[in-house]
A and B are shown apart, each in its own frame.
Chain A
Amino acid sequence: MQFFTQQVVSAIALGSVYALTAIGYSMVFGVLELINFSHASVFMVGAFLYYILTNIAALPGLPAFLLSVLITGFLGVAVEKITLRPLRLNNQPKFASLISTIGTSIILQNIMFLLMGSETLPYQTLFPGQSISLGETRISYMQIVIVAVSTMLLVSLSLFIKKSRAGMAMRATAQNYDAAELMGISVDSVISLTFFIGSAIAAISGIFVCMNYQSVDITIGTSFGLKTFAATVLGGIGNLGGAVLGSLIIAFAEVFTAAYINTSIRDLAAFVVLVIVLLVRPNGLLGKPVQKKV
C-alpha cells in the first residue's frame, strides 16, 4: 500500500508538470490550428538556460529562474516571428508550417548540443533531500512546490483567458481568425502573446522537471515533448482542461508501468495510451469534433 501511494504522489507531481507544457501546445493549436513541434525544444532550452545561469553565470536561484523563463518566452516569440509568420502572411498550406516547426526544433536542439554537449549534467535543486511524511508516504518539498506552483499557474492562466481583455482577444482569434482581425484585434500580437505565455510556462515546466530528476541533458525535449504532446491530444487539443486531464492520465500510465511492469518501457505506455484513445475518440477525451469549413 505504501508503495502504491508513493507512486500516486509522484504521478501527480509528474502530471502537473506535463500539464504546464501541454498547455503551450494546446494554446498554439487553439489560435493557429498548428501543432508546434518546436515547443519541446523550447522547453529543453528553458531548462538549460537555468542550468547555464546558475552553474556557469553563478546567479542565485530566483533571479536565474525568472530570467530563464523570460528569455525562453521571448525565444518563443522570436521562433514564431521568424519561422511561422512569413508562412502565415503568405497563406501557405498548414503542412508547410508544420515542417517549419520540425526544422526549428532540430535547429534549437542541435545548437544546444553544440554548445553544451550530449552529457547528462547535474542540476541544482531546491530543498535537496527534504521531505515530509504523511503516514508512510514520503512527499518531497520539491514535489509540493511543483504541484502548488503548477496549480496556481493553471488557475491564473484560465482566469486570464476567461476574464481579461487579452484573453478574450485570444479566444476570439481561436474561434475565427479573420473575423477577429475585422473586429480590430491585432491578431499578430495575440499570436505573439500566445507564444510568449506558452514558451515561458514550458520553461517553468522544464526547470521543475530537471530539478525533480536533478539532471539535465539535451534529449529531455524529445521524450518529454512527445509525452506531453500525447497528453494534449489525449485530453482534446485546444482545450485547457483537457490538457490537464490528459497529462494526469499519461503521468499515471507512465509511473505505474514503470513501477509494476518494467522501467525501460515507461515511455511506451504513453504512446500506447495515445494510440488507443485516438482509435476510439479521434478528438480526444474533452475535445469537440471540428467542423470542416469549405
Chain B
Amino acid sequence: MKIKSNRIFRKLLFCIMACVLISLPLLGLSNFVMRLAVFVWIYILLATSLNFTSGVAGQVSLGHAAFFGIGAYVSALLSLKLELHFLICLALAAAAAGVSGWLVALPAMRLSGGYLAIVTLGFGQIVYIVLLNWIDLTRGPMGLVGIPSPVLFGIEFRKPQSYYYIALFFCVAVLLLFKNYIGSRAGRNLMAIRDDETAAAAMGVDIYKEKVKAFAISSAIAGIAGSLYAHFMLFIDPSKFVGDESTAILSMVVLGGLGSMKGSIAAALVLTALPELLRGFSRYRMLIYGILLVAMMITKAVDWSRYSWYDRMQQWIQRVVQAINRKKGGWKNGAA
C-alpha cells in the first residue's frame, strides 16, 4: 500500500517538474535568467557525460573540455563555411567529437588511472593549442563570430526563451539514453569495471572494448553540448575550452557524487548558477572548485565517528526526529 502511494507521489512529482520545466520560458523571466537556464542544460550535458566515463566506468578524464571545444568548432565552422542546417551541424559535431574520443581512447584505455588522466589532459592541451594557432581555419584567439542561430520548422531560435526548448530537448534525450544504457547489460559491465577490473575480466567482460565504447559515447555527448553552446552564444573562442573548464566539469561530477546521474544534474545546476549569481566572487570560482574537490574526497575518507562532536550532533538530530515522530503520533491519535 505504502509503495503504491509512493509511486503515485513520484509520478505526480515528475508531472509537476515536467510542467515547470516546459513552462519556464513562458513565465516572463528576464533574459539573464533564461540564458542561465540554457547554460545549465548545456552543463548538465557536460557533467552527465563526464560522469558516464569517470563516475560510472571509473576512468578519470581531464580533457572533457577538448571534446566540448571540438563539437563547438566543428558545428560553427560547418554552419559558417558550408551553411549546413543546424541539425546536420549538430550531428556532425557529435560525430567528430565521438570519433576523436574514440581515437584518444584507443591508446589511452590500455592505461590505468593516472596515465589516462594525463593523456586526456595532454589531449586537452593539444586541442587548445591547435584551436589557438590554426589561424586560417579557427581565426585563433579572435574566435569565430556570426555563427547563425538554428532555424527549425521555419522558426528562428535566437532568443534564450526559445533556444531553451532545443537545449531541453537534447538534454532530456541524452539523459534517457544514459538511463537506459546504465540500466542495461553494457552499463552493468561498466560498473563492474569500475569496481574491480580483474574480477570483471574474469567474468567475461571485454574491459577494453567497453571502456573505449563508453569514452566515445561520452565524447560525442560533449560534442553535442559544444554545438548547442556555439549556436547559442553565436561567438566562440579557444579560451572557453581550456583545462580549467575540464576541471570545472570534473568538480560538478565529484560534487554530485561519482556515478550518480542525479547528483551530476544537481551539481551542474548549482555550480553553473552560483558563480553567475555571485558575480563578485568570480575571482574565487576556481579556488572554490579546488577546495570542493579536496574537501569532497577527504570528508568521505575521514571517519567522523571518531570525533565526539559528531556523535553529539547525531544524537541531537535523532532526538529531534523522535520528537517529530511523537508529535505525529499525537496528531494521529487526536484525529482518531
Residues in chain A within 8 A of chain B (CB atoms):
29, 34-35, 37, 82-83, 86-87, 89-90, 92, 94-100, 102-107, 109-111, 114, 222, 226, 229-230, 233, 262, 264-265, 267-268, 271-272, 274-275, 278-279, 282, 292, 294
For A92, the chain B residues whose CB sits under 8 A away are 297, 300-301
Q: Quote the shortest CB–CB distance from B299 to chain A (angstroms).
A: 9
For B115, the chain A residues whose CB sits under 8 A away are 35, 233, 278, 282
| Cβ-defined contact, A265 with B114, below 8 A | no
| Cβ-defined contact, B294 with A83, below 8 A | yes
For A97, the chain B residues whose CB sits under 8 A away are 297
| Cβ-defined contact, B125 with A271, below 8 A | yes
| Cβ-defined contact, A96 with B287, below 8 A | no
Report the interface size for chain B: residues with CB under 8 A from the other chain.
Answer: 45
Judge if B126 is at the interface, Cβ distance under 8 Å. Answer: yes
Within the assembled complex, what's the spacing in Å between the Cα atoms of A134 and B89?
Answer: 59
| Cβ-defined contact, A267 with B125, below 8 A | yes
| Cβ-defined contact, B129 with A268, below 8 A | yes
Of all A-B residue pairs in the complex, the 8 with the closest CB atoms, nearest first, are A103-B293, A106-B290, A35-B114, A103-B294, A110-B287, A107-B290, A271-B122, A100-B297
| Cβ-defined contact, A102 with B303, below 8 A | no
Chain B CB count within 10 A is highest, among A83, A233, A262, A278, for: A278
Judge if B247 is at the interface, Cβ distance under 8 Å. Answer: yes
Q: A86-B301, A99-B297, A226-B118 are in contact. List 19 more A-B contacts (CB 8 A).
A: A35-B113, A86-B298, A86-B302, A87-B301, A94-B113, A95-B60, A99-B250, A99-B254, A102-B250, A102-B293, A104-B294, A106-B247, A106-B286, A106-B287, A226-B121, A233-B115, A265-B133, A275-B119, A278-B119
| Cβ-defined contact, B291 with A233, below 8 A | no
Report B181-226 residues with CB < 8 Å from chain A CB: 198
Q: Quote the shortest CB–CB distance from A17 to chain B (angstroms).
A: 20
Judge if B62 is at the interface, Cβ distance under 8 Å. Answer: yes
* A100-B297, A100-B298, A105-B290 known; A282 vs B126 contact (CB < 8 Å): no
Sample (6) of A-B pairs whose CB atoms are under 8 Å apart: A83-B294, A87-B297, A96-B300, A104-B290, A265-B133, A278-B111
**Contact with A106, one of B108, B293, B297, B301 (Cβ below 8 angstroms):** B293
For A111, the chain B residues whose CB sits under 8 A away are 287
For B284, the chain A residues whose CB sits under 8 A away are 110, 114
* A90-B302, A107-B287, A282-B110 known; A229 vs B118 contact (CB < 8 Å): yes
* A96-B300, A222-B243, A226-B121 known; A107 vs B111 contact (CB < 8 Å): no
Judge if B117 is at the interface, Cβ distance under 8 Å. Answer: yes
Report B282-336 residues with CB < 8 Å from chain A CB: 283-284, 286-287, 289-298, 300-303
In the complex, residue of chain B having the shortest beta-carbon distance to the beta carbon of A108: B290
Interchain Cβ contacts within 8 Å, total number: 128
| Cβ-defined contact, B290 with A264, below 8 A | no
In the complex, residue of chain B having the shortest beta-carbon distance to the beta carbon of A104: B294
* A90-B303, A110-B287, A226-B125 known; A95 vs B58 contact (CB < 8 Å): yes
**Contact with A233, one of B118, B289, B303 (Cβ below 8 angstroms):** B118
For B113, the chain A residues whose CB sits under 8 A away are 35, 94-95, 98
| Cβ-defined contact, A274 with B301, below 8 A | no
In the complex, residue of chain A having the shortest beta-carbon distance to the beta carbon of B294: A103
| Cβ-defined contact, A107 with B291, below 8 A | yes
* A86-B302, A230-B122 known; A110 vs B294 contact (CB < 8 Å): no
Q: Quote the shortest CB–CB distance from B192 to chain A (angstroms).
A: 15
Judge if B146 is at the interface, Cβ distance under 8 Å. Answer: no
For A95, the chain B residues whose CB sits under 8 A away are 58, 60, 113
